[in-house]
Amino acid sequence: MTSPTSDRPHPRSPLDLFIAFTVLALQGFGGVLAVAQRELVDRRQWMSREEFVDAYSVAQLLPGPNVVNLSLMLGDRFFGWRGALAAITGMLLVPMLIVIALAASYEQLAVYPAIAGALRGMGAVAAGLILAMALKMLGTLRKNVMGRGLCAALGLTTLVAVTVFRVPLAWVVIGLGATGWSLARACIARKEGAKA
């Protein structure tokens, strides 16, 4: 990830990061990726779409939840270890307290059909947010070194492997991740060879 530049808005302090990631985490039910993109790129403009895609790609390769990894990287980018600590605390503290409270009261709440319906509805909303974010991110493929065709083929292969053939996600990430990396390296080498 590139270092922050003065011409783009940035958090004023680690507290600003803490508040931003707390707000972000509280908006995400079933996943905060789409909310993170909207909050960090569109609303706060701390990252460009290309930077978000690059940082999220790295976050996916690291162990742990993707958006937590993203919060660590963004916090470190602006304020070093203090920023990373503020961002991850904002990402995890309040949601953890809510989950503990809900888990403690689940047996009393589970008997109400409205609660079950609300949880199903949140799942549908999360799926819709992820689809909307994916459609918004398609524009970044124009600048991808592999081009739209190879990117679309990798995306379609991923979709088919997971939904049709039920290949475990870990194998898809390892297999298609290595394939995508190899294709990108080949495209970069070909592009550099053409310039020489």
The one-digit pLDDT tens for each residue of the chain (196 residues) are 555 555 789 999 999 999 999 999 988 765 678 889 889 999 999 999 999 999 998 998 888 888 999 999 999 999 999 999 999 999 999 989 988 998 888 778 777 888 778 877 877 877 787 788 778 778 878 888 898 899 989 989 998 999 899 999 889 989 999 999 999 999 999 989 888 7
Domain boundary among 126, 141, 156: 141
Q: Give the global pTM.
A: 0.64
Q: How far apart are CA 39 and CA 36, in angstroms?
A: 5
The CA–CA distances, whole Å, from 47 to 56, 73, 102, 116, 173 equal: 11, 12, 34, 37, 25
Residue 125: which of 32, 21, 25 has the closest Cα? 32
Q: How far apart are CA 168 and CA 3, in angstroms?
A: 36
Total number of domains constituting the chain: 2
- Domain residue limits at 172: 144-196
- 17 and 89 in a single domain? The answer is yes
- 162 and 130 in a single domain? The answer is no
Instruction: Residue 170: count other Cβ atoms within 10 Å of its Cβ.
Output: 8
